[in-house]
Each structure stands twice: as structure tokens, then as C-alpha cells.
Structure 1
């Protein structure tokens, strides 16, 4: 188990994201973190890395650059950022909590398998540090509003770290696209199913060469009431514990019988 519950007032908090060091969401998350602790560090990609998933840069060197007090950028992925932060920048005094986000857009359903925001939290978890990924749902065509995340984020984080989690679990939090006073509550739910990639745009570039752009349309979504998709689309904050052991135990047992 992680060393939870945490005393946030004395915690060292590391922040990262996948939208980059200049993103509005990471500035929101910094403000959230500073309501919890005075020891806040930021190590984030220098450019957007959305949908980078849990990719690690191994075929070229990484450039680490300090851009302010306790603020660094890395010309790599969210995974790179958390790895360098924990094992290099903060190796002598490691963080006690990692926060990733606040992502520009929700990470619900199958989004979690693509998300660089989730990946930053995954890397922290694998390195032995409890982590929470936070994302802000945005209605199609609408502007992001960070007020709900900023006002209610501290409460969600405090409650999440007030209980013990296994070492291979991270927390995935999504805020709805409604005003803080309209939030229907904080709901502990499983993640549902929705798949990106059903809409593909085939076009020609200015030189006449074909290209394909993956659109934002998602397939049929599972909207059962106990899923993150249902909660977020109906004005609630979803909290989902994600488990990093991908082994499907029932199939493991069945497969053993086939190889006897």
C-alpha cells in the first residue's frame, strides 16, 4: 500500500500534464496544489503531447530546461517528465503526491488508454508515488471553464488521499462542464466504454498528396449510471480508481488448462 493517508500540508507535490507547460489547465492545477501545500514542483512537456499515452523517449536524448522557481520543461512526453522529475530533479527528496492535468477535455471511458494525462499518473504510480489525474470535460464547440475544477479540486484531492490505495492503483478524476454550484456531487464509479476513431477525414494536402485526419466522433458509448461517462455528462464529478495490473485472471486460469 502507498503511505496514505497523506498530510497534504507537509507534502511535496509534483505536477505534470500532457497539454504542455503553457496550458491553462496546468496553471489551474498549480493554484489547486498551492491551496494544499507550499512545496509544489512543475515538470511538464514544453509542447502539447495529447494522446501520447504511456510512451517513453528512448531513441534520442531529452532536453531538460528550468523555466522558473521549481518549474521545468522537458522536450518529451508526460512519461518522460515524471520519470526525470522523480528520478533526477527530485531524486534526493521525492514527491509524496503527483497530480496530472488539469487536462483540456475529459478522460473517460477508453480515453484512459490514449491519454498522456493518465500516463503521467501511471508513471508516478509505477515509481512508487501515489498519483491523481484530473481532467475538465468540455462541451463540443464550447470554451473550457476551469472554475469548477479549481473550486472543487482541492476537496476531491483531500478526500482521495484520506484513504489507503494499493501501490498499483491511481485515481482518475473528471470534472463536468457545468458551474460549480450546478455539480450534482462527487461519484465513485467505474469507467465506461466509448471509442475514438469512427470518423476519418481523407483529404489532399496543397501538393496533392493524400492524408487522413482522425476526427473526434466516438462510437456508441456505454452510459450506465455507474460509469464515468454517465456521471460527467450529467453534471457530476467522477472518481475512478484505475488498476495497472492488466492481467485478466479468469482467462489466465482457463488458458492454463489449454496448455496442460
Structure 2
């Protein structure tokens, strides 16, 4: 199996190197990751300047761009043939609920999905890499099982793994995205010149962690597997919107 591995924490992140070691027994793994931490980059592509690709001493290739840039450049220029799977992670912190809209980790996987490659994003729920070895072992278990029993449909999977010992982690739970409160306000400070600068506030508190959500699963010590889709159409609103706009045209 050929795997393309990326992330959003940068090519030097412990989550990337540890996950690489866990996946190499399963196939040929090519790494193309961002040069710097790109948390919150979402699905952005760098269009206002060219991007460059470099090779690190360990053989990892890195791009001075976003996670989506990395996968886009890898699939369209760097790799010799299409990979069987795109893997993104291991992320330093959870990607659940509305986090997935902003996540560079999920975005790297989503870029693979857009190119027709099954893709999985892996995140460690709490920051600071506690029990990272257990998390990457679980990630390898999931990839190996997918290799042995592949899904019959095209897949974009978001996986969140609790920071626990391998022996203490529960079952795989298929979940839906939970919900958060709106994010906290931006924090205004001043630079050395006395000019105002603004830091984006922390994510909002959890609003919906009911049974069946990703928040519920990881709180119970289980692994959350959430299938994602990229069709943003609000199907429920179509008929109401048709009625609302019926007969309207530009008044020229």
C-alpha cells in the first residue's frame, strides 16, 4: 500500500514522526507536510505566491504553505502515481464539532478526498502529546483494518483518540459531530508601539455532547470515528428557498 502522510503541526512535529514510524510496516509512506505550524488554516490554498518544496535530512518533504497545499502539490506533482490512502496527523489536540471547519489536519485529509483518495485525519484529544505512542498504535490499527476490509464507498474519516494507555482505551465508536458554543471573544493587547493587536479567542465550550457525538465518545474513553462529507448544501432549505424566491427576477 502507498500512503501519503501530512499534518498541520509542521514536519518537525512529534505526532508526524511517530505516526510515520507506526505506518511504515503497512506500506510505502511518503511524507509531505508544512514547514511551520498551520493550525486553523482550514482548506486554504496559497494562491497569492508560489510555494516551494524542500527535503529534510530524514527524507520528509516540506512545503512553505498550508496543509491543503502539501497534499495538493504531492498528488499533482511530487508523487509517482496516486496513493491508496491519505493520512493526516497525529494532531496535537482534538478536532471535534465545529473544530473540523477550521482544522488544518482535517483539511489535509479533505484535499485527498477531493482528489478521489480515501483519507483519514487523526487527532490526539488533549495537547502536549501524552500517550502519543498509544494513539499512533491505534491509528495504525485503523489503517491496517481498512487495508484488510476496505469500505465500499469513498471515505473521509475524522478520528479522535483519547490520551490514554493503549490497554485503557475503549472501543471504536462511529459518531456524529457534536456542537460548541460560539468561540470566546478576541483578546486585545498592544504591541511595543502601543498599537492594538488582537488574538483569536479560544474555542467555545461544548454545547452538544449527547450520546452519539464525538465529544461523548472520547469522554467515555473511546475512539471517535466520524465520517465527513464536503457537500455544504442545506437540503432542508431548498424547498423553502424556492417558494421564497419564486417568480423573482432582476429589475432591469
Q: Measure the CA separation in 1 of the matches of 2:203 and 2:64.
A: 30
Shift of 1:219: 2.8
State the TM-score, normalizing by the size of structure 2: 0.90
What SS does the corresponding residue of 1:106 show, helix, strand or coil? Answer: coil
Show the counterpart of 2:65.
Answer: 76
Show the counterpart of 2:76.
Answer: 87
Per-residue deviation, residues 42-95 of structure 1 (Å, max 9, x unmatched): 0000111110000000110111112257521110000100011010011x4121
- Between structure 1 and structure 2, the one with the greater Rg is 2
Q: How many residues align?
A: 245
Choose which of 110, 122, 143 in structure 2 pairs with 1:122. 110
* Residues 69 and 217 (structure 1), Cα distance of their counterparts in 2 relative to 1, 3 Å cut: closer
State the TM-score, normalizing by the size of structure 1: 0.88
Shift of 1:196: 6.1
Structure 1, unmatched stretches of 5+, are 1-10
Choose which of 209, 232, 236 in structure 1 pairs with 2:195. 209
Show the counterpart of 1:144.
Answer: 130
Q: Measure the CA separation in 2 of the matches of 1:171 and 1:29.
A: 17
What SS does the corresponding residue of 2:137 show, helix, strand or coil? Answer: helix
Show the counterpart of 1:164.
Answer: 151
* Residues 160 and 259 (structure 1), Cα distance of their counterparts in 2 relative to 1, 3 Å cut: farther
* Residues 138 and 48 (structure 1), Cα distance of their counterparts in 2 relative to 1, 3 Å cut: same
What SS does the corresponding residue of 1:221 show, helix, strand or coil? Answer: strand
Moved more, 28-37 or 154-163: 154-163
Q: Measure the CA separation in 1 of the matches of 2:58 and 2:123.
A: 25
Show the counterpart of 1:135.
Answer: 123
Q: Measure the CA separation in 2 of the matches of 1:151 and 1:124.
A: 22
**1:24 maps onto 2:14 in alignment:** yes
Q: Measure the CA separation in 2 of the matches of 1:71 and 1:143.
A: 21
Shift of 1:25: 0.5
Structure 2, unmatched stretches of 5+, are 247-252
Q: Measure the CA separation in 2 of the matches of 1:221 and 1:144.
A: 26
Counterpart contact for 1:111–1:195, Cα < 8 Å: no
